[in-house]
Structure 1
Amino acid sequence: MTGGNLIRAVRALPWSGKIGLALVAFWIVIALTGRFIAPHSPGAFVSYEVFAGSSGKFWFGSDFLGRDVLSRLLVGAQFTVGLSAIAVTIAVTLGTGLALTAAVGPRWLDELLSRAMDTLISIPSKIFALVLVAAFGSSIVLLTLIVSITYVPGNFRIARSLAVGLTKLDYVEVARARGEGRFHIALVEMLPNMIRPLFADIGLRFVFIVLLLSGLSFLGLGLQPPDADLGSLVRENVSGLGEGALAILMPATAIASLTVGVNLLIDAATQGKVK
Structure 2
Amino acid sequence: MLTQLAIWVGGGFLASLALNRALPGLGTGRVQDWIKNTGTVGMFGYYILATVLVLLVDYYVGFLMGANMPEWFKSISLLGSTRLPFLAWLLHGIVMFGVAGFIFRALGRSVGTELSRKMFRQMPITASFGILTILIYVIVAVFADIIAPYGQAEVFDRINLLPGGNPDLGGDPSHPLGTDQIGRDLLSRLIFGAQNTVGIAFVTTCLAFFIGASLGFLAATLGGWFDQFLSRIVDMLMAIPQLIFALLLMTIATAWAGSERWLITIYMILIIAVLDSTRVFRLSRAVGMNIVVMDFFEAAKLRGENLSYLVFREILPNAYAPLLAEFGLRFCFVFLTIAALSFLGIGIQPPLADWGTMVKDLSQFINFAAFSPLTAALPLLAAGAIALLTVAVNFVVDWMLHRSSGLKE
Unaligned 5+ segments in structure 1 are none
Partners in 2 of 1:135 and 1:110 — Cα distance? 30
Deviation, 1:268, is: 1.8
CA contact (8 A) 1:47 1:68 kept: no
Cα pair 1:24 1:258 within 8 Å, conserved: yes
User: Computing the radius of gyration over CA atoms, which structure comes out larger, 1 or 2?
Assistant: 2
CA deviation profile, 1:36-59 (whole Å, cap 9, x unmatched): 221012223346251512224323
Q: Aligned letter for 1:36?
A: I
**1:228 Cα deviation (Å)?**
2.5
More deviation in 125-134 or 222-231? 222-231
Answer yes or no: is the 8 Å Cα contact 1:51–1:240 preserved in 2.
no
Spell out the pairing of 1:44-193 with structure 2 (5 A cutoff).
Answer: 44-46=154-156, 48=158, 50-55=160-165, 56-137=173-254, 139-193=264-318
What residue number does 2:116 align with? 6
Identity of aligned residues (%): 32
Tell me if structure 1 keeps the 8 A contact 2:152–2:353. Answer: no
Matched residue SS, 2:333: helix
Please tell me the residue identity of whatever aligns with 2:296: Y
1:20 aligns with 2:130: yes
**Deviation (angstroms), 1:8:** 2.2
**Residues 62-97 of structure 1: CA deviation (Å, up to 9, x unaligned):** 223332111001111111110000000000010000
Do structure 1's residue 212 and structure 2's residue 343 form an aligned pair? no
Call closer, same or farther: CA 1:112–1:274 in 2, change over 3 Å: closer
Q: CA deviation at 1:13?
A: 1.3
1:102 shift after superposition: 0.3
Q: Offset at 1:224?
A: 1.6
| Distance in 1, Cα, partners of 2:318 & 2:241 | 30
Contact 2:321–2:404 (Cα < 8 Å) also in 1: no
Report the counterpart of residue 232 of structure 1 in structure 2: 357
Distance 2:360 2:341 in 1: 10
Cα distance in 2, alignment partners of residues 188 and 224 from structure 1: 41
CA distance in 1, matches of 2:116, 2:295: 31
The verdict on how the C-alpha distance between 1:186 and 1:220 changes in structure 2, with shifts beyond 3 A counting, is same
After TM superposition, which residue ranges in structure 1, 4 or more long, deviate above 4 angstroms? none
Distance in 2 (CA, whole Å) between partners of 1:47 and 1:38 is 19
- Structure 1's 226 and 122: CA in aligned 2 closer, same or farther, altered over 3 A? same
Answer 1 or 2: higher relative contact order, Cα 8 Å, separation at least 6: 1
1:235 Cα deviation (Å)?
A: 1.1
Corresponding residue for residue 249 of structure 1: 380
Could you tell me the TM-score, scaled by structure 2's length?
0.64
Distance of 2:119 and 2:234 partners within structure 1: 36
Structure 2 Cα separation of the partners of residues 23 and 11 of structure 1: 18
Of residues 89-98 and 52-61 in structure 1, the stretch that sits farther from structure 2 once superposed is 52-61
For the 8 Å contact 1:88–1:209, the answer to whether it is kept is: yes
**Deviation at 1:273?**
7.7
Task: Give the aligned residue type for 1:142.
Answer: Y
How many Å separate the matches in 1 of 2:328 and 2:231? Answer: 23
Q: Is the 8 A contact 1:47 1:67 kept in 2?
A: no
C-alpha spacing 1:229/1:49, structure 2 compared with 1 (3 Å): closer
User: 2:319 corresponds to which residue?
Assistant: 194
Amino acid aligned to 1:26: I
